[in-house]
Amino acid sequence: MSDISTALGNIRSSLPEGVELVAVSKFHPAEALREAYDAGQRVFGESRINELCDKIAVLPDDIQWHFIGHLQTNKVRRLVGTRRIALIESIDSERLLQLIDDESAKAGIVSKVLLQVHVAREETKFGFLPEKLLDFFRRRAYETLKATHICGIMGMASNTDDNKRVAADFGMIADIKRQIEILCPDLRGFDILSMGMSHDYPLAVEAGSTHVRIGTAIFGERS
């Protein structure tokens, strides 16, 4: 067995039933994804549009592609236009959400998205601040969307070895999702809590994550 299929097997067996594994394949060549595919993996996460399009062109059609990177507004049309994105996980502003909605309506598709919340300490990370996100739902701003389904939220913990801090961050993200559900009991299909990466996913799962996004632990270091 290859390293990739062994790693996938080990990670899958460590995940509770019902937790989805998103294999984050950014910066890795299509052959590496093919190995993971042959080991049964169907959900892949990519963060750059050019790289994603190159991989879509050469890999099987039953792959579910998740976009997990920071999305520039001038790339939205191209991303939506692929008609191949199962989930855009990294919506970090209302402006971006509106653009995705407009482009999806034009393309005649419904885009599934997650709103990214920013709780981690690092200043470089993107996402709605918790108050902004709650305000979005309090205003029921989602009701005007024509062609976008908000399926849940995505977040990252602080990048630190302090497990208490990481667990607290994941707890906060999970709590924000619960608060949204209380504010908007009419929301349908708001089920996804995407959190946890190679170095912290066990803590994310403990806090209630439904989708873990794991790259390095499957494919090795990115060059």
Q: Among candidates 64, 71, 79, which has minimal Cα distance to 21?
A: 64
Closer residue to ligand PLP (CB): 34 or 199: 199
Q: Which residue has the tokens 């997650």?
A: 114
Encoded amino acid at 169, one letter = D
Q: What CA–CA distances, in Å, run from 166 to 45, 155, 169?
A: 22, 12, 5
Residue keyed to tokens 């419904």: 110
Task: Give me the residues that bind ligand PLP (CB under 6 A), please.
Answer: 24, 26, 47, 68-69, 197-199, 213-217
Q: How near is the Cβ of 199 to ligand PLP at its closest, in Å? A: 6
> DSSP string covering 158-174, please?
-SSS-HHHHHHHHHHHH
Strand partners, 150: 113
Instruction: Please identify, using beta-carbon distances, which residue of 109 and 167 lies nearer to ligand PLP.
Output: 167
CB count, 10 Å around CB of 107? 15
Which residue's CB is nearer to ligand PLP, number 130 or number 183? 130
User: Could you tell me which residues are beta bridge partners of residue 115?
Assistant: 91, 153
* CB burial of residue 192 (10 Å; 0-12, 13-18, 19+): buried
Cβ 178 to ligand PLP shortest distance, Å: 22
- Residue entry with tokens 């963060």: 47
Least Å distance between CB 209 and ligand PLP? 12
State the nearest-atom distance from the C-beta of 70 to ligand PLP, in Å.
Answer: 9
Q: In the bound complex, what is the minimum distance in angstroms from residue 130's beta carbon to ligand PLP?
A: 18
CB of 36 to ligand PLP, least distance (A): 13
Exposed / middle / buried, residue 51 (Cβ in 10 Å: 0-12, 13-18, 19+): middle
Bridge pairing between strands 20-24 and 64-67: unpaired
Report in angstroms how near the CB of residue 192 gets to ligand PLP at its nearest: 14
> What residue number has its CB nearest to ligand PLP?
215
Q: Which is nearer to ligand PLP, 23 or 99 (CB)?
A: 23
